[in-house]
Chain A
Amino acid sequence: MMDAFFWGASVFTAFSILIPFYRSYKGPSVFDRVLSIAAIGGKTIALICLTGLYFDRLSMFLDIALTYAILNFIMAIVLAKYMERLSEEETK
């Protein structure tokens, strides 16, 4: 029973990952795109954990999920700093 439930849960999680791609394709500014990509990464962590449960190698996949969370955080922080500096140089 729980296997079927987690299979359906992974389908709905993939659906909720699919939605923000529209914003990252059409976003008016660069920040909208970065924000939607960060949201996609955050939900991908949940999908990676479900994949580990499905393949029965959860220990390895949880390490991958932790690394993915750290990379996602660093991506958002670094891009925010870069864009901030870029806009400051434009206004000078």
Chain B
Amino acid sequence: MTYLQDGLSIFFVSAGIFFMVVGSIGIIKFPDFYSRTHATSKVDTLGIVLFLGGLSIHLGISQNSAKLMMAIMFIIIANPVASHALARAAY
């Protein structure tokens, strides 16, 4: 059971780090402001959510895990909204 937990946690955290690094490279490499918005809104949100999900799998069922779920829900809602507001202001 604990092997399964550790393996799932390692998988999710590694996937989150991969997506975060890809989003960072996208912020540098894309040529336009709107394509940079695309990189930071979708890829970064997925990366952070996978990372925190892997962390909450590592913690198991506890109060800290509930707090991590709250943070995940807030980031899913807030991060694309902030990028959308910036893109709308730039247009």
**What residues of chain A have their CB less than 8 Å away from a CB belonging to chain B?**
1-2, 5-6, 9, 12-13, 15-17, 19-20, 22-23, 29, 31-32, 34-36, 38-39, 42-43, 45-46, 49-50, 53, 58-59, 62-63, 65-66, 69-70, 72-73, 76-77, 79-81, 83-84, 87
From A1, A9, A39, A69, B78 is in contact (CB under 8 Å) with A69
The total of interchain contacts (Cβ-Cβ below 8 angstroms) comes to: 137
Size class of B's contact patch?
35 or more
Check A62–B20 contact: CB distance below 8 A.
Answer: no
Check B79–A42 contact: CB distance below 8 A.
Answer: yes
From A20, A32, A49, A62, B24 is in contact (CB under 8 Å) with A20
